[in-house]
Amino acid sequence: MQELILAINPGSTSTKIAVYRRSSRIFIKTISHSSAELKPFKDISSQFEFRMQIILDEVRNAHINIDDIVIVMGRGGLVKPIPSGVYEVNQALIEDLKVGVMGQHASNLGGLIAHEIAQKLPSAKAYIVDPVVVDEFEELARLSGHPNFERKSIFHALNQKAIARNHAKTHHLEYDELNLIVAHMGGGISVGAHKKGKVIDVNQALDGDGPYSPERSGSLPIGAVVETCFSGEYSKEEIKKMIVGKGGYMAYLDTNDAYAVETASKNGDKKAELIEEGMAYQVAKEIGAMATVLEGNVNAILLTGGIAYGKPFIDMLNKRIQHIARIFVYPGEDEMKALAMNGLRVIKNETEVLEYK
């Protein structure tokens, strides 16, 4: 028995799969789904059989003995707010993923498909880990200024937690003994205050909180937003697009390509230079805010996500935050590896498997 781990990460127009033999990746593939392929399905949940069969076919076509899979890790979807950790897929989790208790998203299929595949195998179990709704907030962090609008924990939990744990391990430290600020910088930007292994505060990067990003507006002047909403010039959907999808770089520069903005800035485009520095300015402000949450006791600042590949952007950040703590840059994100390594932690009994209720 080779103790293989199958990782599954469904996205809106693709499904990523990877197979690991303990810590070694032996197969990875991104399967793209055209609009024509997805058109027959009325909603995300109805794509279940279609996507599962493709996954099984791809694994078999790669000449992998599917019976050697002992762990199936699904990308966690929009379930109820839960603490960070690995959760075995149970009936309660299945029901919440099916109905979309916190909303419909392709990642909801991750746990469902993982469970069904595990059921077909002789000795496999299915799990999810660190979905975007991981909630470890202290009560102060939930206060917004009005009881009708509670702040919520929705962020890049899988990558933030994986980067924080890997950083601790690399430096022969324990994650739950450190105070870290982790900035995930991609299509959306989330900046979390990690206090002794828990993310006690983070901007809600999904739909309008924190720094602007390549396609999200971040926090906006709320009075002006209210006036715009009731101006009669825009529909609800158009306003929502301003916030997510057509905000940030898209709104200012008509592109969500951070590298293209960096290149334009280097070539003397003054507007690109200003907007790029503006995003670095706002990320630095958010990092500074999280330093106050940790009362100035910060062991390290970790910068991750695709934007962390851009040296000029990192340099702009460094000059504003280097006084807070030592900075470590971990460019990109590897969600498939993060899923698989959490599966390996289960195999090695290095983590408690939690029950979803």
The pLDDT assigned to 252 comes to 98
Q: Enumerate residues 6+ apart whose C-beta is below 8 A from 214.
A: 186, 187, 248, 249, 250, 255, 256, 257, 258, 261, 307
Residue 214: DSSP 8-state: S
What φ, ψ does residue 326 adopt, rounded to 5°? -65, 140
**What domains are there in the chain, each with its CATH number?**
4-135+335-354 (3.30.420.40), 158-331 (3.30.420.40)
Instruction: From 22, 298, 285, 11, select the one nearest 164 (Cα to Cα).
Output: 298
- Do the beta carbons of residue 67 and residue 3 sit within 8 Å? no
* pLDDT < 70 stretches in the chain: 1
**Percent of the chain's residues with pLDDT above 70:** 100
Between CA 99 and CA 97 the distance in angstroms is 6
The pLDDT assigned to 270 comes to 98
The pLDDT assigned to 7 comes to 98
pLDDT in tens, 203-258: 998 888 999 999 999 999 999 999 999 999 999 999 999 999 999 999 999 999 99
The pLDDT assigned to 43 comes to 84
The pLDDT assigned to 1 comes to 63
The greatest distance separating any two alpha carbons of the chain, rounded to the nearest whole angstrom, comes to 65
Between CA 323 and CA 331 the distance in angstroms is 21
The pLDDT assigned to 12 comes to 79
Model pTM score: 0.91
